[in-house]
């Protein structure tokens, strides 16, 4: 099994948790009431987290390729 030597695997989860913790309670309450705006915000957050994860993996693969022996 491969071990992670670079960015921790839980980094995207930590970022999502931190962003959620920084939101005001009224914003969280509006999201929990089922407003469509809250769903769109979460969808975009997940989308951008996936984009960042793909970029990090691509950069890691490129660095591994460039520095292989």
Q: Report pLDDT digits (tens) over 29-69.
A: 665 665 566 678 888 899 999 999 999 999 999 999 999 87
The better pLDDT of the pair 56, 28 is held by 56
Q: What is the pLDDT of residue 36?
A: 63
Which ranges of 1-69 would DSSP assign to H, the alpha helix? 11-22, 25-32, 36-66
CA angle 29, 32, 35 (to 5 degrees): 100
The whole-model pTM stands at 0.46
């Amino acid at each position: 099994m491969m071990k992670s030597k670079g960015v921790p695997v839980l980094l995207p989860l930590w970022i999502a948790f931190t962003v959620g913790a920084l939101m005001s309670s009224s914003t969280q309450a509006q999201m929990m009431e089922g407003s469509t705006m809250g769903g769109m915000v979460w969808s975009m957050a997940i989308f951008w987290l996936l984009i960042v994860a793909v970029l990090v993996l691509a950069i890691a693969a490129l660095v591994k390729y460039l520095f292989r022996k």
